[in-house]
Amino acid sequence: MVDVLVIGGGNAALCAALMAREAGASVLLIEASPREWRGGNSQHTRNLRCMHDAPQDVLIDAYSEEEYWQDLLKVTGGITDEKLARLAIRASSSCRDWMRRHGVHFQPPLSGALHVARTNAFFMGGGKALVNAYFRSAEQLGVEVRYDTPVVSVELDGDRFVAVHTAKGERIAAKSCVLAAGGFESNREWLREAWGQNARGEWPSDNFLIRGTRFNEGVLLKHMIAAGADAIGDPTQAHMVAIDARAPLYDGGICTRIDCVSLGVVVNREGDRFYDEGEDFWPKRYAIWGRLVAQQPGQIAYSITDQKAIGRFMPPVFPGTVANTLPELARLLGLPEQAFVQTVQDYNAACRPGNFDHTALDDCRTAGLAPAKTHWARPIDTAPFYGYALRPGVTFTYLGLKVDERAAVHFGGRPSPNLFVAGEMMAGNVLGQGYTAGVGMAIGTAFGRIAGTQAALAAKKVHHATA
């Protein structure tokens, strides 16, 4: 019997497998996807938010534990667990040498991401390069890896892990187990159940696109909750951004984002504005726009800019709809022409003169308009006009299993002796809502490593008990 069974193939699973193997345990890692789709959502990530008290290789200045914690407190609105959050924060200050030993390369921030030069260490080549490095290292160290092996159920003896049953009907027993199989964002049924039906009679989640892997169906999460494991979090909470409506249903990743929201206006299907597009810098606001769009009729919205915005935002993956007049743009986008033109005219008339600067919180704002646009408000008056349709894009869900600082799965408040959980399946302990770049990987790395170590320890105890 293998000592440690790791279920999942993303960052948290790999961190767990590597740590368990380094602690001397025999490790089997089973991944639901085929090899070419391995890595879960980690293949779409790009950086790690790192605490550091002084400049470190690719990180400038300092980012203290306190500042990191305050940032997290702010974005989650206090729906977090301070003890676990600080554990992840502190771990982020010392994990990178270990990551490098397993082949991960870091680089300074990418162009267009200089705002996180102080806080986030970027993986050279992105998350898939990191996943590749970890898999190579794991295989070199003797971790057995099996692809195409989805798990359908977990066999428990009270609060003790016994074995898993795979979709192929195989029973795999192990002395201990780490669950790191991701959230349920690609389970359309579950999303539908969680988001329900709105007052307009729509099922909003039917119009969601999934930015990440198609393999996160939440099978294990659902199974564990049904088996009595303690859950945490709201199933409608997720990392959700507004992305190009033409993005693929799954795995659209980073390139489907639309970064021109703050440079123009955003209207809904009726042609009305619904939120302050210039509330703050786009990187600080993009994570709220997914929910904003989800609340609009038809779960769709349209980012509208004019010629003045060209060359001031990251290039989108698909070309925008272009028109020489606003009525023409409305027609091409399928918006009610009169309402749309009225909205833009009202907005244009409300723009106060100011000194436009898209690199600062400038003084270009509207007056007497609801909702106001508080920065970067310039009339949309220079043809050609551009429109991009937006849809909510779910990156990952926050509903998870409750853990302690040992990453143990809990049953009725009691920790399991040999079942641990890491990554998206427990990120909700720290992230009750909201998001800030690189936190998901920080939680996954910290708790993946803890879970691996604890699983190896638990396997040894079983060994001693049976010997």
For residue 409 the two structure tokens come to 């799965």
Position among 150, 283, 327, 379 found at the interface with another protein (CB under 8 A): 283
- Binders in 136-155 for another protein, by CB under 8 A: 136
Q: Is 114 exposed, middle or buried (0-12, 13-18, 19+ CB in 10 A)?
A: exposed
* Segment near another protein (CB under 8 A); pick from 64-72, 105-113, 176-184, 382-390: 105-113
Contact 459, 25 (CB under 8 A): yes
Q: Which residues lie closer than 8 Å to 269 by C-beta, 6 or more apart?
A: 296, 297, 298, 300, 301, 335
Taking the complex as a whole, the smallest distance from the CB of residue 405 to another protein amounts, in Å, to: 32
Residue closer to another protein by CB (options 262, 343) is 262
DSSP 118: T
Q: Which is nearer to another protein, 113 or 457 (CB)?
A: 113
User: Of 64-72, 124-132, 224-232, 422-430, which segment contacts another protein by CB under 8 A?
Assistant: 124-132
Contact region with another protein (CB under 8 A), list: 13-21, 125-133, 163-171, 182-190: 125-133
Residue 192: exposed, middle, or buried by beta-carbon count in 10 A (0-12, 13-18, 19+)?
middle
x/- track of binding to another protein for residues 73-102 (CB under 8 A): ------------------------------
How far apart are CB 114 and another protein at their closest, in Å? 6
Residues 310-349, one symbol each (x = binds another protein by CB under 8 A, - = not), give xxxxxxxx--------------------------------
> Which of 60, 62, 114, 152: binder of another protein (CB under 8 A)?
114
| CA nearest neighbour of 401 among 84, 20, 23, 18 | 84
Residue type, 371: P
Tell which phi-psi region holds residue 78, choosing left (phi > 0), alpha (psi between -120 and 50) or beta.
left
Number of residues that bind another protein (CB under 8 A): 46
Rounded Cα distance between 181 and 174, Å, is 17
Residues near 273 by beta carbon (within 8 Å), at least 6 away in sequence: 265, 266, 267, 343, 347, 371
Give 46 or 52: the residue with its C-beta nearer to another protein. Answer: 46
Residue of the chain from 8, 10, 127, 387 that contacts another protein (CB under 8 A): 127
Helix (H, G, I), strand (E, B) or coil at 119: coil
Phi/psi region, residue 182 (left: phi>0; alpha: psi -120 to 50; beta: rest), is left
SS3 of residue 28 by DSSP: strand
Backbone angles phi, psi at 461, to 5 degrees: -60, -45
Decide if 144 contacts 154 (C-beta within 8 A): no
Q: In the complex, what is the shortest distance from the CB of residue 467 to another protein, in angstroms, rounded to a whole number?
A: 39
Give the Cα separation of 387 and 407 in Å (integer): 46
Q: Is 340 helix (H, G, I), strand (E, B) or coil?
A: helix
Q: Is 164 in the site for another protein (CB under 8 A)?
A: no
382: helix, coil or strand? coil
* CB 428, min distance to another protein, A: 24
Tokens of 234: 């709201």
CB of 1 to another protein, least distance (A): 31
Burial class (CB in 10 A: 0-12, 13-18, 19+), 174: buried
Q: Smallest distance, Å, CB 256 to another protein?
A: 8
> How many other CB atoms are found less than 10 A from the CB of residue 412?
8
Phi, psi of 54 (to 5 degrees): -150, 165
Q: Give the binding range for another protein (CB under 8 A) out of 77-85, 119-127, 268-276, 321-329.
A: 119-127
Window contacting another protein (CB under 8 A); options: 142-150, 228-236, 246-254, 443-451 = 246-254
Kindly tell me which of 130 and 351 has the beta carbon lying closer to another protein.
130
> Is residue 37 close enough to count as binding another protein by CB under 8 A?
yes
Nearer Cβ to another protein (43/237): 43
Measured from the CB atom, the residue of 112 and 228 that comes closer to another protein is 112
Min dist. Cβ of residue 312 to another protein (A): 6
383 belongs to the binding site for another protein (CB under 8 A): no
Please state the closest distance from residue 315 (CB atom) to another protein, in A. 5
In single-letter form, the type of residue at position 284 comes to: K
Q: Which of residues 45-64 bind another protein (CB under 8 A)?
A: 46
Quick count: other Cβ atoms within 10 Å of Cβ 301? Answer: 30
In angstroms, give the least distance from the CB of 171 to another protein.
Answer: 30
Residues that bind another protein (CB under 8 A): 36-37, 43-44, 46, 105, 107-108, 110-115, 122, 124-129, 132, 136, 248, 251, 253-257, 259, 262-263, 281-283, 310-317, 358-359
